Structure 1
Amino acid sequence: MFGFLLFLHLAGLMVWLGALLAVVVILPMLYKQSGAATAHANPFASRIIRVFGMLAHPAAAIVLISGVFMIIDMDLGQDKPLWLEIMEKGGGTVILLALAWTGILGRKARKRLIAAAGQAVTLTGYRTASASIMVLILSIVLIVSLKI
């Protein structure tokens, strides 16, 4: 059972990071294509954000749920190493923060893109949030990998 949970955990993490990376890479390409530091309201930018939410949010939930079940399955009690404490508490906090933060900012960005009707819309806050979440996720993965 633990092996299947680990598979779900790692697969969810890959999909989640992949979706974040896609947003961080593709949205600036839209800016360069329009020749300005803003994205013109088009269905493509809105669709990118919607697809990101459809991929990243369930993947993050899978990472959280599989992680909780793996920690329960380990049954270490109070004698957990520091890296496992960081993974448990820090990882859970990052996932919940990411779900709320990117969900709210993504919804606001999509509303602005839809309401703009061809005008320029800045999405730097959404991109910055996505990049920040990526850095936090990779920090947790580094700590767990090094077993600090």
Structure 2
Amino acid sequence: MFGFMLFLHLGGLLAWVGGLIVVIAMIGLLSKQLGASADSNLLARKSLSIFSYLAHPGAVLVLGSGLYLILKMGSGSKPLWLDIMEMGGGTIAILSLIVTGILGSKVKKKLKAAGGQPVKVTGYLTTMTALMVLILGVVLVVSLKI
């Protein structure tokens, strides 16, 4: 069971990070065209929806399987990398779920109501990039077992 949960944990991490990469790339490439045409707005809204369907379940899967793996490891003295994975990874996953949900819906509303006006998404892209850096930072610390 431990091996299966580890597989789910890594699969969820791939879906979560992959979804973030896709939305950062798509919205970043479309950012200059947003608001100017209905097609680019529709593509951006669809990209955000697909991101939500990939990344949110991935983050929930990482949280659930990570909790199971931590409980199976037991308590006691833990190395630093495991503490960072527990506290940092869990906090980032919960923060990511909340922030991406709220900001994604705000950007979708802006895109829907653009009406030919330019739509600024720099705050959204900056936040998504910061989350990506935090996630990859935790993955790096865990991979190096610092």
- Could you tell me which runs of 5 or more consecutive residues in structure 2 were left unpaired when the two chains were aligned: none
Structure 2 residue 50 is matched with structure 1 residue 66: no
- Could you tell me which runs of 5 or more consecutive residues in structure 1 were left unpaired when the two chains were aligned: none
TM-score (structure 1 length as normaliser)? 0.92
Q: After the TM superposition, list the runs of 4 or more consecutive aligned residues in structure 1 that deviate by more than 4 angstroms.
A: none
Structure 2 residue 133 is matched with structure 1 residue 135: yes
Aligned to 2:120: 122
Amino acid of the structure 2 residue aligned with 1:83: W
Secondary structure (helix, strand or coil) at the match of 1:121 reads coil
Amino acid of the structure 2 residue aligned with 1:5: M
Amino acid of the structure 1 residue aligned with 2:46: R
Separation (CA, whole Å) in 2 of partners of 1:22 and 1:15: 10
Aligned to 2:6: 6
Instruction: Tell me how far 1:89 sits from its aligned partner.
Output: 0.4
Residues 5-62 of structure 1 show CA distances to partners (whole Å, capped at 9, x for unaligned) of 0000001101111110011111121135x3xxxx125211111111111110111000
Aligned to 1:54: 53
Identity over aligned pairs, percent: 53
Secondary structure (helix, strand or coil) at the match of 1:11 reads helix
Separation (CA, whole Å) in 2 of partners of 1:31 and 1:81: 43
TM-score (structure 2 length as normaliser)? 0.93
Residues 67-109 of structure 1 show CA distances to partners (whole Å, capped at 9, x for unaligned) of 000011111x121111101100000000011111111110100
Amino acid of the structure 1 residue aligned with 2:24: V
Separation (CA, whole Å) in 1 of partners of 2:58 and 2:23: 15
